[in-house]
Amino acid sequence: MQLRDRMMQDLELAGHAPETRRVYLSAIRDLVAFHGGQSPMRMGQEEIRRWIEHLQSKDLSSGRRRQLYSALRFFFGKTLGRPQLVAFLSMRTIATPLPQILTAQEVSRLLQGLQVLKYRVLFTLIYATGLRVSEACVLKTEDVDAHRGVLHIRGKGSKERLVVLSPRLLTLLRNYWKLERPTPPWMFVSHTGRPLDPDSARLALRSAASRVLDGKHVTPHVLRHSFATHQLENGTELRVIQELLGHSNISTTTRYTRVSTATMKRAADTLEKLETKR
């Protein structure tokens, strides 16, 4: 078995999402290319360190560097069983930035600005349910349970969950399906009949945002963040939002309390508890 196939098998066994597998495999290909095609089996810590120095000379975000380091740890630690080669890798903990949120009015303008029906319905679905774009793009018609009013989602790490399917969203999906007749079993497809490419969807969203939101940079995850924050402001409990988003840890969900203005306003005003002098 080739190393690539062995790593792919290990990634699948570990339950990593398809996008994570792609990123990790790409990182190891880059490592091999940097060393002129040398087999990783023959690499030592010195070769890995030289590649790390090369990465540090490039203008990479901390998130991207973290991805590449994780790929190295997985490949050398799990697939090759030589974790000592990457034991030196570490990254300082950085503060998690506040998620970007759109107002309901901005979401409405953005969705209306998507001129292609397929993309407008896709991102309406994402905002209405909080799905990841990778989850929405592989939605199947059989995942729509109209009788129970839910969508069956195959999420990150092969985890499955149910999300609410409102009557309005169900009507939208039905009308879209009647007009588009996407290639079975997928709900959203490319011109080749395969599931819609998330990168194509991202590009369509970015283009619409630049036109109708004064050039604001918007990603599919911004709609997911907006869904969660608006749910919180409408009084939905954090635990419910955690389940809807498919978060493994509640701490990931609690960050939305940092940007919910309604939650802040509901907090007690400490001055109101002080007795005023008559």
- Catalytic residue chosen out of the listed positions 16, 120, 156, 230: 156
Of 21, 91, 23, 25, give the one whose Cα is nearest residue 52: 91
CB distance 173 to 85 below 8 Å:
no
* Calpha distance 177→164 (Å, rounded): 19
Q: Is 24 marked active-site? A: no
Q: Is 247 marked active-site? A: yes
Q: Is 4 marked active-site? A: no
Q: Which residues contact 31 (CB under 8 A, 6 or more apart)?
A: 40, 43, 48, 51, 72
| CA 187 from centre of chain | 19
At residue 134, the 3 state secondary structure works out as: helix
- Catalytic residue chosen out of the listed positions 16, 118, 120, 224: 224
Q: Is 132 marked active-site? A: yes
- Catalytic residue chosen out of the listed positions 24, 119, 176, 256: 256
Of 160, 58, 184, give the one whose Cα is nearest residue 151: 160
Q: Is 277 marked active-site? A: no
Q: Is 191 marked active-site? A: no
- Catalytic residue chosen out of the listed positions 6, 21, 152, 247: 247
* Helical spans, DSSP H, in 130-219: 133-137, 167-180, 198-212
CA 92-96-101 angle, 5° bins:
160
- Catalytic residue chosen out of the listed positions 132, 176, 225, 230: 132
Q: List residues with catalytic annotation.
A: 132, 156, 221, 224, 247, 256
